[in-house]
Structure formats: C-alpha cells, structure tokens
Structure 1
Amino acid sequence: MQKIVLLLILAISLSACVVDKEKKTAKQKEAAVAMDLDEIIKRGKIRVVTDYNSTNYFVYRGRPLGYQLELLQALSNTLGLKLEIVVSNDVEQNFESLLKGDIDLIATNLTITRDRSHQVAFTEPHCVTHQVLVQQKSTGDDKPSKATELIRNQIDLGGKTIYVQENSAYVSRLKSLGNEIGDSIHIVEIPDYEVEQLIALVANGEIPYTVCDENLARINLNFYDNIDIETAVSFPQKIAWAVRPSAKNLKDLVDNWLINFKKTNQYKRIYRKYFINKRSTHLVNANFHSIKGGVVSDYDAIIKEESAKYNWDWRLIAALIYQESRFLPEVESWAGAVGLMQLMPQTAESFGVEEITSPKDNIQGGLKFLIWLDKRFADKISDPKERLKFVLAAYNVGPGHVEDAMRLAEKNNKNPYIWEDNVDYYLLNKSKPSFYNDPVVKYGYCRGEEPFHYVSDILERYTHYKNVLAD
C-alpha cells in the first residue's frame, strides 16, 4: 500500500511539473512574441532581406530603385524605423536567416504555399499574380522549326526539361502540374541563378524553358524581344512577405500597414511604375542600369582609378558625388561650390586643383580633402567606420562646426567620439541660439539639418551600392 501511495504522489508531482513547465513554456512564447517587435523598436531599425533583380531592387544612374525597396521605404517611414537591407537571391538561405533571427522580414515575391506556411508566417499579400512558362520564340523573318514551336497546352510539357530557381515555389508547382497532366516534367533546380538570370538563358538559347511570375516576366519583355510568356502554368497566386512564426506582433503590424497602404495612390503609383508602365528603351538597355551594365556614372573609371590610389572604396566616393552633384561636372551651388565633388574655390586651390570643372582634377581634390579631414579626426576617433561619419559631416559643413558639436556633446555628458545619438544631435540643433551661443562653441551658427541628413543619405546610398555593385 505504501508503494502505491508513493507512486501516486510521484505521478501527481510529475503531472504538476509538466503543467507548470507547459505554463512556463507558454509564457516564454508570449514573451518571445512581444520581444520580437520590442527588440526591433529598441534597436531603431528593421532588418530586411530582398532579392536583386530589375524589378525588386537595383540601381539606375546612381539611384537605388525597386518595387520592394519603395514598399519597404514607405513601411519604415510609417514606423519611424531605419531600414537595413541585405541582398540575397537564395530562397532557402533567406528562410534560414529569418528563423535564426539574423533578419526580421523577407521582402521578396514569395508565393504563399502550404509547405512554406509550415516554416514561416506570411504577411498580407502585397500583390496577386500567376506563374507562366518562359520560352523562346522566333523573331523577324526567322521560320520557326519544330523545336521552336511554342507550347500553349500544359499537356505538351510532358517529357520537357524546365530549369527553375532552386527551392522556389516553381518547383512544387511543376511537380503538381506533372501529376495533373499524368506525365513527367523534368525539373532542373539551379542553385546559383536568380529568376531573371534564367530568363536571360532562355533568351540566349542556352536553356529551353523556365518558369516565372507573370508580372516579373512582363518586365523582362522589355529586355528580351524573343521570349514568350503567354502560357500560364498556375492559377492566380498570392505574393507576400514573411516573418518568423513567433513574430505575431510584427506580422499584425505589417498586415495592418499593407491593408491600408494598398488602398493609397502611393501604392498604385509604385505598382504601375514597376509592373505596368513600359520601360523606356534607354533605361532598359543603358549601362547605367546595375542589372545590365553595372555603371553608376560616366565617371566610374576616374572614380575607381583615383580612389584606388588612396585605398578608398570607389562606391563610397560615387555615393558622395551623387549627393553633391548628381554626376554633373559643371554644376555650381548657391554658395559657389563647383564640380563633381562640389569644391569651394579656396579648397580646390589649397589641394592643388588646376581646373575645378575637370572631372579628374575635381575628384583628385575632393579625395585629398577627405584624406586631410580623416587625418584631422584620426587621433580622436580610432574606429574608421565611426570616423567616416565625422569626416562626411565635415566635408559638408566644415570641421569647425563638427568639432563644436563634439564639444557640446562632451559638455552635456554625451560621447564626443560617437556620431549617432550623440554628436549628430548637437550638430542638428546648432541652428538654435541656445546651442550656437554656448561658450564652448567657436564657430557660431550652423544650418545643422543639412550635414545631419548628408551623412545618413550618403551612407545609406553607399550600402545600396555595395549591395549591387562590385568593389
């Protein structure tokens, strides 16, 4: 009897432990959900991965553009958060990065499928499309042979080989289609190619077929006049972003934003811009498109050559030049700054610039000025990445005003050697009498809003350039 009583007590105790553990687990899950959004707000930025193609994310004439990019910028502006974008065309890697917590949101054209819904939580769809077969067609006077006859009936896909992006929704759709037509479709998954790269292979005759979302396929008609996209291989499908399954608060936030944003004229304009309006020939074919030529400006060769002399990243200098002059070598500012890097005449003279409107001379002078500023701050700020923010601000407004802001930060118990939320605040407010009249200020009034945004704009553009342009 004693053994039975002991066993009963032990069973009740174990049961209580299990219930207690389940309660703790439930509470931990609730806390994790809350922390997901709280952590994003606390860090002040949302980390997003998107893919690099001619629609979602690219650079044209030095300007970052893209359907996903503009949606994300609108979202981050609404939330009051900074946007940190990384680029990856690897679907499986993006899922892994999301589930590991390296990113908060996958912002690509993800087809909502049942299998994927077991891995991630999909947001409200941002558009609806369907999958199409991409095949080569004859052009001009070419007479189509039997090998180039267009497939119009899905049954005729039996026995054909179709190349698709690895781990994409196209794989599962083709498998289902094979079952539907009662025949084998040979599916080749390509790990290192994005959808548009596969379309290019079809256009060049290197592979016979691929599959693509219809709205993206229509954009590529502007790149390739010898592809056909009129054969559907799926019903309309919802296209969405994805968050971690535990990120319920973030999902609710994004869902509500998307529901409301899709009703706005801004969303309609963005969608028309990338999926409906026919791209002009000069944009599609120009080297200035990062997808086609990878050229930012007419002066890339000079920027690369001069930057290499001083071991500076040419993409950073290009981002600065875009900010200063939009790559116009003879432009002059209201203050008298001239050329690609907007040098003041006295600055140009100090650094031996002979012809201020000469692209090469101007870039040489601008780089020498940057190096001089970098040396000026090097003793105080050892971290090159942190020092760069001070250097860029000083390039825009002069080192004296930046050093004033450093002294104001130190006086007010902030770190004078950290830019964000420290020195930048005092430079931003240096147009106010209570700031520029402070005894530690030596250089007086400064319109601080301009250098404040100047630094963040250049660094943001530099990040975009690094995402899509080779170093």
Structure 2
Amino acid sequence: MIRSFSIWVLITIMFFSCQFNQKKSVENHDLFQKSTISKPISFDLDAIKTRDTLRAIVLSGPTSFFVYKGESMGFEYDLLQQLAKELNLSLEIIVAPNFNVLGEWLNSGKGDIVAHNFTPTKTRKEKFTFTNYLYLTKQVLVQRKPDNWRNLKLHQIENMLITDAIDLIGDTVNVRKYSSYKMRLENFMEETGGHIHINEVDATLTTDELIGMVAAGDLKYTIADNTIAEMHAIYFKNIDVSTPISLSQKASWVIRRNAPQLQKALNTWIQKLRKTTDYYVIYNRYFQNSRIIKKHVNSDYYLTKTKQLSPYDDLIKKYSENLPWDWVMLASQIFQESRFDPKAQSWAKAQGLMQIMPSTARELGIEDTSHPEESIKAGTFYLLKLWNKWDTVEDFDTRLKYTLASYNAGLNHLKDAVTLTKAEGLDPNHWQNIEASLLKLTYRKYFSRKDIKYGYIHGIEPVNYVKEIFERYNLYIQLLDTAE
C-alpha cells in the first residue's frame, strides 16, 4: 500500500490497492496512440441532430466532471450543458474509465466529442480534430516540499526546490506515455541539449493521480497543466507547482477528423462563449474558487471517492429492497424530488425527501413527512403500489417509466395518456408514444375529448421528470463503477 495513506486518501479519482511500480495488465496507450485506434466512423452534426442527442465522453475529476451531494458538476459538464442547449440537442454524458479508451470510443462512435482539456500538437492533429481553445494553460512542475517545510522560511523552501526547469537535467520526471507533458520534456531536451530521464508511467493513471502520488512521496516529479496543478495545491499543501515548464498552451476539446459540420458549430459556439459572462463564472467556479473546490473534494458526498450520494444512502438501500429496481435509481428519484433535503416543501405542500402529499401521508398513516425514514418508507410503499398497477406493461424499463411518471403526475393522468395513445392507433408499450400523449394533454384539443377523464396536465413535467431521473441514474452508475 502507499506509504502516506492519510494524504493519499485525498486522491480525487480512485484508490490504489497495489504498489505503483507493479505492472497492470492493460496496454500502455492513450487517446493519441495511432496503432490502437479504429478509423473514424462517418457521423457528423446532421446525423447527431437526427439522433437528437449529443454524446460527450468525459473523464471524472475534481474540475472536469463529478457528482457532489447527488448533483452533477464540473467545468466540462457545465459547458456541455450550454453546448447542448445551443445546438438544441439532448445531452448524454459517457464517463470513460481512463485515457486508454478515449480515442477508440470517439472514432467508433460511442461518443461525438471528448470533452477534456487537451493541448493540440502537430502529431495529435494527424489523427484528430481539435476545437478552438477553451482557455490557455501552461505546464508546470509538480514537486514535493521538504518534510519540514512548515518550519522553514519561504527562501529556505525555495532553495530546496527546483525553481528553474534547467535544473531538471540529469533528474527523472514521471509522465504518461504519449502525453503532451512527455512531448514537452522531449522538446525541452532538444532546446537545451541536456538529458532528463523520462519515466513513462501506466497510461491508465490520470494527472490527478500522479499529482497525488507526488504529494504522498511515491513519485519525485510530474508535470501538469497549471489549472489542474494549482487546484490540487489547494488541498495538497505539501506540493509546489510554481515552476513553469512551458509557455502558454491552448486547452481544447477533441472530435473526429471527418466531422466538419460539428467542428464549425463548436468553434462558432466557443468563440461566442469566451466573450460571455457565463463562461467566466463557470471558469472561476472550478479553477479560481479554492474554498468551494476543497469543500467538494473533501466532502463525504464526493461520489467518485466515497461512493456516497447522500446522508440517507443506508435508508435508501434498506427500502429499495422492497422495489424491483436498485437503490441508485431510487436515489436519483429522491434527488429529483427534494435534492436530498428532508425539509423541502413544494407549492402543492408536498413535503420531505420523497415529497409526500398530505393526503397520501394521511392514507399511509405518516405523521411527519419531513422525517427521512418515514418519507422514504412511504414513498417506496407508494411506488410499489403504482408499479403493480402497470403489470400489463411487459418491458421493465417502460414499466418503471410508467411508475415514475405516475408518481409525479398521478396515476389517472397516465391512464388518460394510455387512452389517447390507443385512440391514435399507437402502441402504449413504447414509452415515446406515452411521452407524446402526455405532451398533447397540455392542449384543450386533446384534454377536452370525451374519452379523456381527468383533463389538463402540464405534460412536459412528467416527461422531463422521467427523462432526468434516468439520465442521472446513468451518470451515478458510471461514476460508481469508476470508483470501484
């Protein structure tokens, strides 16, 4: 195990159960290794719009994408939300387990874009297309301060550190194979005529993890973008990230080489985006606000590190055993209802974690709907009751969507949607047909029909309710998988 476990537990992505110098079974390659990547499929913006969904590949990390107290956050995540809105598309986030799969997932069509900060280089451009830059960064040396640094004066600490890149000559620096950091070190040696030993570490390791290993004393040096390094220095107080290795470099996203429509749309959007206040609010939130970043990463509810979504996970797991679906789906619904706030109350006076209506609480004999366990107990009891009402729906996911929509909008409105779907000659076993009927029941032409018994419904609410619960569930599952 790693020596300084008390420091190492702060690593933001995953825990290691073996020594760093043990070889992993996976091959050392990353996004830009040519020999392991398929030719890009032909799937440009017109096809993406036909599909109606933009698929973005991300890596989880304390600035790019993470879940905190059940809510999805991150610089890339927030920008992707804006991009999808700009393109009038739904957004599907695909969390990659490591760098190894990025290029293959992109070119094979699993995703349309890799939303991660990459530096465009001549070699990389031979294989992929890079967007306009989202921000400028520079590479810095990450090194550990002396063990007694707290007892030293600033000039004494500086005297014991590398303060000029030229002093790395003759020493060893640890970077990922094929990374821009390795390329920069090679260029530096060419420029200076000196030799730096480059130790190529396992390509599955992220920059976040390498920084943590320097902080723990398992590595002497690594290289990182200053935006990432400075963020880590907030909670790894024993590292120094002040020594530059490069001049300013562009940080861009990556798309397939044969997607000119998507490239044009992205570049136009980025050019406009960088001039907006929203962009700087998002940038400062994740790269400048040290207090917030530290709060997120050190929280018990930083999902990738702790596998905890909320203070109520044990209760959610307990009562989900009464349901045919897993606790993570129930957790996603509870976040949708109350954002895990037991004191939440809606305009309709629904209360608690699962937003139990007063009439439902009376029916179930619940006196205090703000009590977390009582709320979850009542909510799961009601969910199971609704699930059993839809026993004629054969497909599991479709039946679950019926159940969730009934919880949100009421069982009778879903029955009306089924009636309308059948009246129009469509199959109610296909959820998209029920979605369409729910949306139609917003309009008098449909809710005033004689066969519609329960009238008007603001149909977009249950449609979005179900959609967002499923989307959030998929994100939770992906991040829980990467945390294992």
TM-score category (smaller protein):
0.7 to 0.9
> Aligned residue for 2:140?
132
Match of 2:197 among 185, 191, 196: 185
User: What is the CA–CA distance in structure 1 between the aligned matches of 2:72 and 2:159, rounded to whole Å?
Assistant: 38
Matched-pair contact (CA < 8 Å) for 2:230–2:241: yes
> Aligned residue for 1:6?
none
Cα pair distance change 1:250/1:282, threshold 3 Å: closer
| Matches for 1:143-292 after TM superposition, within 5 Å | 149-181=160-192, 182-280=194-292, 281-292=294-305
Spell out, residue by residue over 1:244-287, the C-alpha distance to the aligned partner (whole angstroms, 9 max, x if none): 11111111111111111211111121112111233335344222
> Aligned residue for 2:15?
none
Q: Which amino acid aligns with 1:82?
A: S
User: What is the CA–CA distance in structure 1 between the aligned matches of 2:288 and 2:136, rounded to whole Å?
Assistant: 14
Q: Which runs of 5+ in 2 are unaligned?
A: 1-39
The higher relative CO (CA closer than 8 Å, separation ≥ 6) is in: 2
Cα pair distance change 1:148/1:343, threshold 3 Å: farther
Question: How far off is 1:33 after superposition?
Answer: 9.6
Higher Cα Rg: structure 1 or 2?
1
Q: Which amino acid aligns with 1:437?
A: S
Cα pair distance change 1:45/1:185, threshold 3 Å: same
User: What is the CA–CA distance in structure 2 between the aligned matches of 1:386 and 1:176, rounded to whole Å?
Assistant: 56
> Aligned residue for 1:455?
466
| Matches for 1:389-408 after TM superposition, within 5 Å | 389-408=401-420
Query: Per the alignment, in what secondary structure is the counterpart of residue 198 of structure 1?
Result: helix
Identity, % of aligned pairs? 36
> Aligned residue for 1:315?
328
Matched-pair contact (CA < 8 Å) for 1:136–1:148: no
Question: How far off is 1:309 after superposition?
Answer: 4.9
Q: Which amino acid aligns with 2:316?
A: I
Query: Per the alignment, in what secondary structure is the counterpart of residue 405 of structure 2?
Result: helix
Q: Which amino acid aligns with 2:290?
A: K
Q: Which amino acid aligns with 2:106?
A: L
Question: How far off is 1:170 after superposition?
Answer: 1.6
Cα pair distance change 1:263/1:60, threshold 3 Å: same
Matched-pair contact (CA < 8 Å) for 2:116–2:252: yes
Question: How far off is 1:146 after superposition?
Answer: 10
Question: How far off is 1:414 after superposition?
Answer: 3.1
Match of 1:370 among 362, 373, 383: 383
Question: How far off is 1:147 after superposition?
Answer: 13
> Aligned residue for 2:430?
418
Match of 2:65 among 29, 46, 57: 57
Spell out, residue by residue over 1:392-418, the C-alpha distance to the aligned partner (whole angstroms, 9 max, x if none): 111111111012112112222333222
Match of 1:437 among 425, 448, 459: 448
Matched-pair contact (CA < 8 Å) for 1:112–1:122: yes
> Aligned residue for 1:108?
116
Cα pair distance change 1:360/1:238, threshold 3 Å: same
User: What is the CA–CA distance in structure 2 between the aligned matches of 1:135 and 1:312, rounded to whole Å?
Assistant: 47
Matched-pair contact (CA < 8 Å) for 1:174–1:185: no
Matched-pair contact (CA < 8 Å) for 2:173–2:196: no
Spell out, residue by residue over 1:405-435, the C-alpha distance to the aligned partner (whole angstroms, 9 max, x if none): 1211222233322223x21122123232212
Matched-pair contact (CA < 8 Å) for 2:132–2:270: yes
Question: How far off is 1:166 after superposition?
Answer: 4.3
Q: Which amino acid aligns with 1:377?
A: W
TM-score, scaled to structure 1:
0.86
Deviates more, 1:220-229 or 1:152-161: 152-161
Cα pair distance change 1:191/1:352, threshold 3 Å: farther
Q: Which amino acid aligns with 1:224?
A: F
User: What is the CA–CA distance in structure 2 between the aligned matches of 1:376 and 1:167, rounded to whole Å?
Assistant: 56
Cα pair distance change 1:127/1:282, threshold 3 Å: closer
Cα pair distance change 1:390/1:165, threshold 3 Å: farther
Q: Which amino acid aligns with 2:110?
A: D
Query: Per the alignment, in what secondary structure is the counterpart of residue 180 of structure 1?
Result: helix
User: What is the CA–CA distance in structure 2 between the aligned matches of 1:251 and 1:216, rounded to whole Å?
Assistant: 26
Match of 2:127 among 113, 119, 123: 119
Matched-pair contact (CA < 8 Å) for 1:92–1:167: no
User: What is the CA–CA distance in structure 2 between the aligned matches of 1:463 and 1:55, rounded to whole Å?
Assistant: 20
Question: How far off is 1:291 after superposition?
Answer: 4.6
Spell out, residue by residue over 1:45-100, the C-alpha distance to the aligned partner (whole angstroms, 9 max, x if none): 11110111000101122211111011111110011111111111533421111122
Matched-pair contact (CA < 8 Å) for 1:50–1:107: yes
Spell out, residue by residue over 1:344-395, the C-alpha distance to the aligned partner (whole angstroms, 9 max, x if none): 2443455565653321222122122222222222322x22222222211111
Deviates more, 1:267-276 or 1:340-349: 340-349
Cα pair distance change 1:409/1:222, threshold 3 Å: same
Query: Per the alignment, in what secondary structure is the counterpart of residue 222 of structure 1?
Result: helix
Q: Which amino acid aligns with 2:151?
A: D
User: What is the CA–CA distance in structure 2 between the aligned matches of 1:141 and 1:112, rounded to whole Å?
Assistant: 42
2:338 is the alignment partner of 1:338: no
User: What is the CA–CA distance in structure 2 between the aligned matches of 1:113 and 1:198, rounded to whole Å?
Assistant: 22
> Aligned residue for 1:98?
106
> Aligned residue for 2:85?
77
Cα pair distance change 1:405/1:311, threshold 3 Å: closer
